[in-house]
Amino acid sequence: MTQTDALSIPLPPDEQALQWLWDVKTPGYVFDPSIVLARYRKLRELLDSRLIVSLKANSNLELLIRCGHGFVDGVELASLGELDLAVGRISSTKYVNNPSMDETFMRAALASRCVFIIDSLGQAERLIAVLGKQPAPQTILRLNAAELMPGRRKEAADHFGMSPQEAMLAAAALSRADVPVIGLHSFVGSHQFRVDERGGDSADLAHALAALAGDIERVAGAPIAMLNCGGGFGERFHEDESVFAAYRERLAPLRQRFQLAHESGRAIFAGAGLFATRVRAVKTLGGQTIAVCDGGLSHNFLLARTESAIKKYAAPRLLRRQPAPEGAAVQPVRFVGSTCSRADVIGWQPDPQAAPAVGDLVIFDQCGAYHPSYSVSGFLSLGAAGAYIHQTGETA
């Protein structure tokens, strides 16, 4: 596997190539740092801009140690815990971004020379109060995407960032305190990156930020050098490069004046992670096989699709210890977890097949982003899933 094509952990037809998975203690995640770095380089190339890594997508320490050197444009940190992981391990710029940032978080970020992404006027005032006589940090103002683009209010609505009017007040307050405002930031949301023929594409956000920059500059008394245009890139971003060509063309006029940046976590980490769980019990119910696994929504909440109106479950790969008996009955298989919640369904294989056996491995791909961190492990005191590193390619 080369660096350019290493964009997801391979699940080859030859089961011999997956034998290493039997050594994984389940339920557990397996991360490949070479794929993280390959996806980072690929997305950065397609965007032709700075690319900031959102560490919330995967904050596994062992993975960060192996990949941190490759995140050349910096990382975005949303908690004091993430900051603690990055300090001493990330030499590039650290951006802190959280609407609830308190004084303790701010003081730690100041000590670590972070760039502050300011979410509100109140947060700007709190930073000024904490700052005292310390050297001022660089700041970036976060704009609410729906307020910035009223015509796209429905799809862009959330509770992050400021209105343009509040951003002007924040810029004025920071300027009076001699805190430099170096850029503007906005983000529409996950899976929202698109380019369409009507012009209502993701570049609209960048152009809206650029249109506001002049007003912010007049209040701040200094040029706005950087636009962070967010991201919203999907897990399989690399499958259609023509979309990025159109996007780069739409951004071309802005490059003459601004340094452009994007941020991503999902696109970088998703394909670099597998989730493995073992079958613990098997039964037939309602014309389908029920495979009860040792891993479920307590270990991989996102697989349960509880936040989706239409539940389209992932179809996992089954690694059998022994071949299915010849002539065995076949039927669809529902993969469920070990809790007492009816929502604990993590996979569905609609194609009829022989029932799994106790001890077989169930493997889900595209689980490297948010799946490890967006799960509540306290239910039934089951504990969190394990995490392992498996290298399939070169990291440098």
The Cα angle at residue 282 between residues 327 and 336, in degrees rounded to 5: 125
Residue 140, Cα to own-chain centre: how many angstroms?
A: 21
CA–CA dist 248, 245 (Å, integer): 5
- Where are the strands (E) in 188-305, listed by range? 226-228, 259-264, 273-285, 288-293
Cα–Cα distance measured from residue 179 to residue 51, given in angstroms and rounded to the nearest whole number? 24
What CA–CA distance (Å, rounded) separates 123 from 331? 57
3-class DSSP state for residue 204?
helix
| 298-336 CB burial, b ≥16 within 10 A, e <16 | bbbbbbbbeeeeeeebbebbbbeeeebeeeeeebebbbb
Active site residue ranges: 340
In whole angstroms, what is the distance from residue 315 CA to residue 333 CA? 9
What is the C-alpha to C-alpha distance for residues 296 and 339, in angstroms, rounded to an integer? 7
| Alpha carbons 117 and 95: distance in angstroms, whole number | 7
Instruction: Tell which residue, 134, 137, 157, 133, has the closest CA to residue 145.
Output: 157
Name the β-bridge partners of 262.
51
Q: How far is residue 87's CA from residue 83's CA, in Å, rounded to a whole number?
A: 6
Task: State the DSSP string of 290-353.
Answer: EEEES--TTT-GGGGTTT-SS------EEE-SSPPPTT--EEEEEEE-SSS-TT-EEEEEEEEE
Q: Are 217 and 175 in contact (CB under 8 A)?
A: no
